[in-house]
Structure 1
Amino acid sequence: MIPPFIHRHRRKIAAAVGVAAAGYYAFSFLKSKLEDWQASLQSSITYKENLRRRFEQNQKDSSFTVAALLSSLTDPIMKHLPVEEITRELQSKQRAQSGILTDEMPVSDVVSVASSAVTDEGGCKVRSKKEMWDEIKIISITRAVSLIYAISLLVFFTRLQLNLLGRKNYLDSVLSLSEEIDPVEEYDVKIADQEEKDIIDNEVNRRFLTYSWWLLNNGWRKLVDTVKKATADAFKDITPRSELTYSDLVSLFTTIRSSVTTQTTPFLDILLPATREEEQFVLSQNPAPEFSSTPRLERILDPRINEVLDEAKDLIESPNAEQVMRCLLDEAFNLFLSNMRMAYFVTPKEGQEDDTIEDEKKVRLANLLAGISRQSHEMTVKSSQSNQYLVAMNETPELAMFSAVVYSNFGALGSLF
């Protein structure tokens, strides 16, 4: 039997119970949504942190890779433009004609020597001292400028390669973590598929990285030829005896740079082969004995590597890439000219801490050539931390931003991976 009190207030009690029930369910719903939101937020934070760590590691790997490849790029350029060898030949000629047998004579002292041609014992005409000085002038400057361009391109292309592949590898890891565990009866089949996928992925990575061969063995040659012509045009009226101010030096290098950039941008044929035949030749330079190719695997690999190459080419020809290369070259040329300025256009001021920079001070080109050669050797230092040119390029903000754009552009993968 219902108590009279409850009977009299049954409607109010029912309403209160309804409100309480509704409140409970609303609270439960909000709590559930809050927990989902917190879980989503935590997942997002974890995702972003993981992405950030991977990206930063990828940039460090790029810097180490550039340092590892540097000698493969710079050694052939140094050998192709043997400034020191010609300098020693010139010094030897001067000692032989003047009777001086010491090795201490500065190169700049040779400027005043007569430039008449001579013949060797066999009657063959050999280079005159003037011809040798002209050659030293051209190849010293060509070597420095070529190294700046070549190293900038190596830094840029290595970042492009490793960030393209880093993005793919990161996406693969995320997808593999999200896959559900397959039934036991399908296990062997899935493992076989995964093993094949790993083989294909590794081979795509290997083949794409192999394309660095083009710059290291072929691309730099076209670059050197272009720089040499631009140097000869800019310095045609400048002799080793010519006296230059710092402003003159900057203007001459700006002229060279403008000519080279106009003829080589967007650097595509310097960085990558132009035809499929040339691409196959590059791949043949780095065979993988452990990879057993089959017609079926090649049919899978060909479109994948071609699409990676096509994306790389699109990026190289993009306005963003042009801006990055311009900034890398700015950093390198500014450092080069700053070092030359401090070495030759700064006068120590006695009794004062600060030196005086004399922009109108004039220095013979013969003396400047020695400093230009020293800077070339600075560019070839193989440590990513000790090479001031590598440090300056690796810390260029525009390079970091470009790398981030490439690494985070997951939409560009499409159905490829």
Structure 2
Amino acid sequence: MLSSARGFWGRHRRKILFSLGVAGVGYAAYRLYETHQRKLVRVEQRAQEERAADELIKNQLQTHFENVQRISDTTTLPFAMHYLRSRIMEELDISHLTERLLQGKGESSTLTPKEKYDTWEKIKILSFTRTVCSIWATTMLSLYVRVQVTILGRHLYLDFARVTDGAHLQEESDAFSKNGHKDFLATADYLATYGINALITKMQHAATEILKEKQLKDPMNMDQVLQTMLQILDQFMGLCIDNSWINYLVPENANLYAQLMAVSSSGFDESSLLKDVRKLDQLMSETRIVLSSDDFINIMERSLRKIAGVVIEDLAIQIGTPIPPSGLPLAKLLARVAQLSLPLLEEPNKNKHIQIIRSMPEVELFYTFLYANMPQET
């Protein structure tokens, strides 16, 4: 038996070893294949988890974007517009001039012809200044506040995302009171508080330059009134060398602004404001960069021209009666031109001009890209 087994082993030794070797190689290859498949499954699972996490963050980003825009609509912008209206009406009041003309009517007039002429000229300049200033201020404040809350919303989201690793965002009401955020939102009042006088002075200078050749008796149709307003806007922007108009909206120096706020307003916590000035300076610097960008200047110019066109449509409606092709004497248009500023400075939820700006596709696209593409570390 043993000898026959040895004989069988001797005769088939090569075949047996070859078979065992093939089987071993096949088993090893199978194990390697199985391990590779498990790795592929794990990789795919991780990829799916990452896609799900990215989608969650994307959805949260969109939701948060909508939330910070609502803050602009319900708090920041309404308060800023209310103060802006009172300042423009106060600084560009023409009622005393019209009363002077009324008192000077009749044979017993105490006004000389030159005094009458000079008064009419002042009314002409101030009427256009008030309305064009209102067009610019309303448009720019609306755009500025949305830049502001978009920058702040992005900062808040990234701060929360780093802490929560993509978990649900915290409530905005807690976050806005920290790290200079609340103080940054308060800069929406800077235009009405500190920038308005310089704005009015330069706008009046532009209006004087454009209107100097336009006589009170000259007829003007609606298109000519529109072109006059656009020329004043262009002249004004031309006077603002190196985008100096930004200084009407954004404080130039965070430290000085913080000190002004701490001294002038009892609503500010002085120690907190001065402590958070570094964050405030960062947010203000980012805002200036956005406002000076070509993309923002593009939507600014489009918005200003759009609102100017709507204002002239309102003027034609107010006149009511058919307007001759040649137009009406400029003197007869001035009172209505001045009145156009009132609806421009209406509170946001009643202000159709702000709604028009907000619904412009190019404006919506700008803010969507701004929110999504701001640097994560600034």
Equivalent in the alignment of 2:311: 336
Whether contact under 8 Å (1:210, 1:286) holds in the other structure is no
- Tell me the CA shift for residue 230 of structure 1: 1.8
Matched, 1:393 2:357: yes
Are 1:73 and 2:84 an aligned pair?
yes
Instruction: State whether structure 2 residue 189 is matched by structure 1 residue 224.
Output: no
Separation in 2, partners of 1:179, 1:230: 51
Q: Cα gap change, 1:413/1:401 in structure 2, threshold over 3 Å: closer, same or farther?
A: farther
Find the counterpart in structure 1 of residue 182 from structure 2.
Answer: 206
1:287-322 CA-to-partner distances (Å, cap 9, x unmatched) read 5566755xxx95x63433322222222333332332
Change (3 A) 1:166 1:131: same
State the partner residue of 2:68. 58
Deviation (angstroms), 1:43: 0.8
Determine what percentage of the aligned residue pairs are the same residue: 19
The one-letter amino acid paired with 1:143 is R
Query: What amino acid sits opposite 1:273 in the alignment?
Result: P
User: Is 1:47 aligned with 2:57?
Assistant: yes
Deviation readout 1:27-72 (Å, 9 max, x if unpaired): 3222212211111111111111111111122223223332332110
Secondary structure class of the residue paired with 2:340: helix
Q: 1:263-297 CA distances to partner (integer Å, 9 max, x unpaired)?
A: 1234122123345674244322345566755xxx9
Q: Deviations over 1:206-228 (max 9, x none)?
A: 22223333211121111111121
Trace 1:151-162 onto structure 2 (pairs within 5 A).
151-162=138-149
Cα 1:153/1:30, change in 2 over 3 Å: same
- Determine the structure 2 residue equivalent to 1:28: 38
Tell me the matched-pair count. 353
Q: Structure 2 matches for 1:229-308, cutoff 5 A?
A: 229-264=205-240, 265-275=243-253, 278-284=256-262, 285-287=264-266, 292-293=271-272, 301-308=276-283
Residues in 2 aligned to 1:77 and 1:201: alpha-carbon distance in whole angstroms: 30
Partner of 1:365: 330
RMSD: 3.4
Query: Are 2:68 and 2:150, in contact at CA under 8 Å, matched by a contact in 1?
Result: yes
Larger Rg: 2
Listed as ranges, the gaps of 5+ residues in structure 1 are 1-6, 99-115, 120-124, 181-197, 348-356
Q: In structure 2, the residue corresponding to 1:118 is in which secondary structure?
A: coil
| Residue 326 (1) aligns with residue 326 (2) | no
**Contact 1:58/1:166 (8 A) holds in 2:** yes
Among residues 71, 76, 90, which one is paired with 2:101 in the alignment? Answer: 90
Counterpart Cα distance in 2 of 1:200 and 1:72: 22
Secondary structure at the counterpart of residue 375 of structure 2: helix
Once the 2 structures are TM-superposed, how far is the Cα of residue 366 of structure 1 from its aligned partner?
A: 2.8
More helix by share: 2
Provide the TM-score with structure 2 as the length reference: 0.80
SS in structure 2 at match of 1:211:
helix
- Structure 2 spans left out of the alignment, 5+ residues: 1-15, 168-173
Distance verdict in 2 for CA 1:172–1:380, change over 3 Å: same
TM-score, normalised to structure 1's length?
Answer: 0.73
User: What is the Cα deviation at residue 255 of structure 1?
Assistant: 2.2
Change (3 A) 1:292 1:302: closer
Equivalent residue for 2:6?
Answer: none
Quickly say closer, same or farther: Cα 1:290–1:341, change in 2 above 3 A: closer
- Which AA in structure 2 matches 1:270? Y
Which of the numbers 383, 386, 399 marks the counterpart of 2:348?
A: 383
Which letter does structure 2 place at the counterpart of 1:72? Answer: Y
Shift of 1:166: 1.0
Shift of residue 250 of structure 1?
3.0
- What is the alpha-carbon distance in structure 2 between the residues aligned to residue 200 and residue 366 of structure 1? 50
